[in-house]
Structure 1
Amino acid sequence: MSSLPLRALALATAAVVATTALSACGSDDDAKAGTTAGTAAEAKTINLGYFPNITHAPALVGVNKGLFATALGGGTELKTQTFNAGPAAIEALLSGAIDATYIGPNPAINGWVKSKGAALKIIAGSTSGGAGLVVRDGINSPADLKGKKLATPQLGNTQDVALRAWLKQNGLNADKNGGGDVSILPQDNATAVQAFAQGAIDGAWVPEPNLSKMLLESKGKLLVDEKTLWPNEQFVTTHLIVSQKFLKEYPGTVKKLLQGHNAAIKYINDNNADAQKAANAQIAALTGKALKDEILAAAFKNLKFTNDPIASSLYTSAQHAEEVGLLDKVDLKGIYDLGPLNELLQADGLPAVSDAAAS
């Protein structure tokens, strides 16, 4: 049989696909997507969110060193937006103001719940570790915390859940309104660091670099290093999520974003000293104030940067939030899409990462 009919059919099919893709990019989509003859739609822009915080170092370094821009190529423009709290980043993703963002596990879980599993996918890990409970001198055990005041960044955030779960495991309770055996006062990290220095609170469960600030500048004591509570001393602090809409429409662009993300993590791990400078320079550009060198070095030492999302810790964190009454029973099946990341890892001869609930 001649191959001519098959070739003609293939060309006709390609034409239909191209026409459909062009039609889908009308009006509102024109600002984001474009096509070239014979190719699928490519995003003209990708809006990426991240925090001016050292736990988001892959984003800081990726932007500062142009690694995302290089991976995306000339056809897609990288636009960025910074946030200081997970809920704000999730709202931006849900509204379409951003397409992807670096974020902590509990805000991602909350976004999944709020959208009934329709809004986002976790596509890569970013950061592990770098959180714990810093207390003033004289507090040496959980029992010593009874009647004390502790801070967390926000009610229901990742560190807040970690503290409440740890207190419960040690026979102490803390309600949502600051009552109970231990009074938990949610406040932003900068306020908590200042309150601890002034003696207004007895301690705080905080992420880096605030943990190192409290230890080095206010002579605090690390009562709980959170990594010691997790298998292999690994738990997710930050990961990368993308809107399901953007992932479905522009999978090629998402893969390029992941290439930039992987390049940033590799750069940090291969060039740690320079990566610290790049991350700090980006923080200074965003906030007007760089971290002190000793704080920067201590924070980096306490963090691990990895594209493994450490999925098992996300499921456990959700369980902890349920146990302390901050989250209703939730089904997280489908929250991960690690296919694009694992394709890239396989191409580089690296092991795949897992979305399994148990490590």
Structure 2
Amino acid sequence: MNSARRPRRLTVAIAATALAGLVATLAACSSDDAQATTKPSGASAEQAPELRLGYFANLTHAVPLVGVADGTFQKDLGSTKLSTQIFNAGPEAVEALFAGAIDATFVGPNPAINAFSKSDGKAVRIIAGATSGGAQLVVRDGIDSPADLKGTTLATPQLGNTQDVALRAWLSDQGLKTSLTGGASDVNIAPQENSQTLDLFKAGEVDGAWLPEPWASRLVVDAGAHVLVDEKDLWPQGDFVTTHLIVSTDYLEKYPATVKHLLEAESQTVDWISQNSDAAKTKANEAIEKLSDKALSQDVLDRAWGNLRITLDPIASSLQTSADHGVAAGTSKETDLHGIYDLTLLNEVLKADGQEPVSDAGLGQGA
């Protein structure tokens, strides 16, 4: 990489049990110490011995896919050992963070919001963006309108993950009922592994899915699905956060210098991707093949990559709407998001690169 920088079939009952477990795990964090803010740059020169980072084998996680695989993340972390763990969806990654198995993770907005809410705003901070776009509701032939969805089964990556929330909220807007507990519903939602969704869709056992890339494209290209809803069409200017980077507040407090190095690595990777799009999607596909033992076909790769926008901007202006969707979907409670962002270190990195700072939309530290 050029180092120069620019100036998922599960039943609804099982899914409900999974949500209860997640809520219990998150709630355990509410006894943590009082909310803290990032130390000023240079307040601690101590480097963490290790940084344990989570991400997914999805193109919406192209930044860590590329930056970890080509060594940029480890190089910028210096003497800090980089360890990684791969997850299927956000709630799973958040559980790992609260269990102390990882220190930071790339994740979607709704799991981050739930983590912040259930820990009374103490456990996590959003410190950077990564991806906008790249999520679609894709369905079988014969489904051409919301009304056609009544009586169908649709898949999502995990109960309470960002696409699960988006689907439930959108269905509610269409006047279609869903259930978290197996009760009466117009549409059955079956959270499951993304690879399982592809197999079950091919077998005719699910009728569609709201998925991140490359899985939406895999259902379209490999299994004959068509797009019913492109999520970007539901947002102003088509811009919304799909993936951002969160970190344990304890880790951020203790090792701000290490976190800043992580952000420098992310910035360098985002810059390289923006300048080398074709090479970047190839590298991301190579990383996916290594992690999942199967590369994406060129048709899937091209279609999926074209639906993404890689960006350090966390698009904070979209977060409250994502939170509102979670409340409407019944997967989270209404919460005050003030303090969820700490973009101090990111904006220091951007300033050093001659770039404009990014906004926390009034949801940052001290807001």
TM-score band (shorter)?
0.7 to 0.9
Residue 192 of structure 1: CA displacement? Answer: 1.4
Q: Which residue of 2 aligns with 1:151?
A: 155
One-letter amino acid matched to 1:263? Q
Residue 44 of structure 1: CA displacement? Answer: 2.3
Specify which of 270, 294, 309 is matched with residue 304 of structure 1.
Answer: 309
Q: Which residue of 2 aligns with 1:228?
A: 233
Tell me the SS of whatever aligns to 1:40.
Answer: coil
The runs of 4+ residues in structure 1 deviating greater than 4 Å are none
Tell me the SS of whatever aligns to 1:217.
Answer: helix
Structure 2 residue 135 is the aligned partner of structure 1 residue 123: no
What stretches of structure 1 of length at least 5 have no aligned partner?
1-37
Q: Which residue of 2 aligns with 1:90?
A: 94
One-letter amino acid matched to 1:109? I
Specify which of 318, 343, 359 is matched with residue 354 of structure 1.
Answer: 359
> Higher relative contact order at CA 8 Å, sep ≥6: structure 1 or structure 2?
2
Residue 84 of structure 1: CA displacement? Answer: 2.0
Query: Residues 73-112 of structure 1 correspond to what in structure 2 (within 5 A)?
Result: 73=78, 75-112=79-116
One-letter amino acid matched to 1:165? A
Structure 2 residue 163 is the aligned partner of structure 1 residue 142: no
Residue 128 of structure 1: CA displacement? Answer: 0.9
Tell me the SS of whatever aligns to 1:42.
Answer: coil
Query: Residues 1-359 of structure 1 correspond to what in structure 2 (within 5 A)?
Result: 40-73=45-78, 75-178=79-182, 179-356=184-361
One-letter amino acid matched to 1:341? L
1:153-186 deviations in Å (ceiling 9; x for gaps)? 2222111111111111112111224541222222
Percentage identity across paired residues of the two chains: 56
CA distance in 2, matches of 1:277, 1:132: 22
- Contact 1:315–1:357 (Cα < 8 Å) also in 2: no
Deviates more, 1:333-342 or 1:106-115: 106-115
Residue 130 of structure 1: CA displacement? Answer: 0.7
In terms of Rg, which structure is larger?
Answer: 1
Q: Which residue of 2 aligns with 1:4?
A: none
One-letter amino acid matched to 2:62? A
One-letter amino acid matched to 2:146? P
CA distance in 1, matches of 2:178, 2:83: 41
CA distance in 2, matches of 1:242, 1:212: 30
Residue 114 of structure 1: CA displacement? Answer: 2.5
- Contact 1:104–1:238 (Cα < 8 Å) also in 2: yes
CA distance in 2, matches of 1:208, 1:322: 25
- Contact 1:50–1:101 (Cα < 8 Å) also in 2: yes
One-letter amino acid matched to 1:252? A
Question: Relative to 1, partners in 2 of residues 1:351 and 1:143: Cα closer, same or farther, differing over 3 Å?
Answer: same
Residue 357 of structure 1: CA displacement? Answer: 6.2
Residue 197 of structure 1: CA displacement? Answer: 1.4
**Aligned residues: CA RMSD:** 1.7
